[in-house]
Amino acid sequence: MNTAELELKKRRAQRAEQLLKDELIKEAFSAIDKACYNTIKYSKHDQESIRQDAYMFARCLDAFKASFERIIRDGVETFQIPKDINQLKR
């Protein structure tokens, strides 16, 4: 790897760190997570499909966050959709 590639990789890592620590991004993820939790917590006993949807939405958010972090950190060239959503745990 030459000097220019190393510098590009260094800048990418710095930008990735900024994105992952960005308060707006963290706030958005937190709001979605909280909405899912509250939907599950406050749903009525006969609203099973609503709870299932909220649970799946929360799982998708976790998968998105893990994928987002992986792409930012490692680059889009290395990203692949996992066969199992549980592989996306950080």
| Model pLDDT for residues 39-79, shown as the tens digit of each residue | 999 999 999 999 999 999 999 999 888 888 888 777 777 77
**Domain coverage including residue 46:** 3-88
**What is the rounded average pLDDT for all residues in the chain?**
85
Q: What is the DSSP letter of 82?
A: -
Asked whether the beta carbons of 66 and 74 are under 8 A apart, the reply is no
Number of Cβ within a 10 Å radius of residue 54: 19
pLDDT at 90 over 50: no
Q: How many domains does the chain have?
A: 1
